[in-house]
A and B are shown apart, each in its own frame.
Chain A
Amino acid sequence: DVQLVESGGGLVQPGGSLRLSCMGSEFTFYSYDMNWVRQAPGKGLEWVSYISGSSSLIKYADSVQGRFTVSRDNGKNSLYLQMKSLRVEDTAVYYCARQAFDYWGQGTLVTVSS
């Protein structure tokens, strides 16, 4: 079965940095575009970022543009989200999702607090 497993979440102070990872298995990872989606506690879903299979096309939500960087290593079947200048409002569960949003990871919680 297709699996996506996120890691890297945790508690970080405002202004700090964190790198999330998402490892995919049981599918040809390089053939699929990938997304990051987040959900603040008790709130709805917010799309964060997109990266094409070859990394040739990258998109960000305005709320993270210039602070977050998405990347991937197809040799390791892995997707990354480097987050810098973190704000309290970035606190959320971060999910990775496959191209058509047909498969999602279980999510990793990022808490930004002093």
Chain B
Amino acid sequence: EIMLTQSPVTLSLSAGERATLSCRASQSVSRFLAWYQQKLGQAPRLLIYDVSKRAAGIPARFSGSGSGTDFTLTISSLEPEDFAVYYCQQRSNWPLTFGGGTKVEIK
């Protein structure tokens, strides 16, 4: 099973700041890495798939990068609605796995 480790666990930032979230895989997942946003009481929302492709309707301030085992989700300038929990997911191997999440909170 591929383990995904997200860091930091919590990120305290202000609106307008840049957020950089990390996801590290225990073995290569090639480019089969996705990112999700989840707000309290809601289902997850797909942000990024295949490392860097934005899902439909996702603003350009969200971007993904990386390859192999190290991946990054960047939010260029935080909007109030971006404060949430973010998860990475690998789709390279069965079983599919998610990271433990990074909470982006208001500083």
Residues of A within 8 A of B (CB): 35, 37, 44-47, 50, 59-62, 95, 100-102, 104-107
Give, as a whole number of angstroms, the nearest-CB distance from A101 to chain B: 5
Q: List 18 A-B contacts (CB under 8 A).
A: A44-B98, A44-B100, A45-B87, A45-B89, A45-B98, A45-B101, A100-B46, A100-B49, A101-B34, A101-B36, A101-B44, A101-B49, A101-B89, A102-B55, A104-B44, A104-B45, A105-B43, A106-B43
In the complex, the answer to whether A47 meets B43 with C-beta atoms within 8 Å is: no
Contact partner of A44 (CB less than 8 A), chosen from B1, B46, B87, is B87
A47 with B44, Cβ < 8 A, contacts A101-B34, A101-B89 known = no
In the complex, the answer to whether A45 meets B44 with C-beta atoms within 8 Å is: yes
Contact with A along B78-107 (1 / 0, CB 8 A): 000000000101000011111111000000
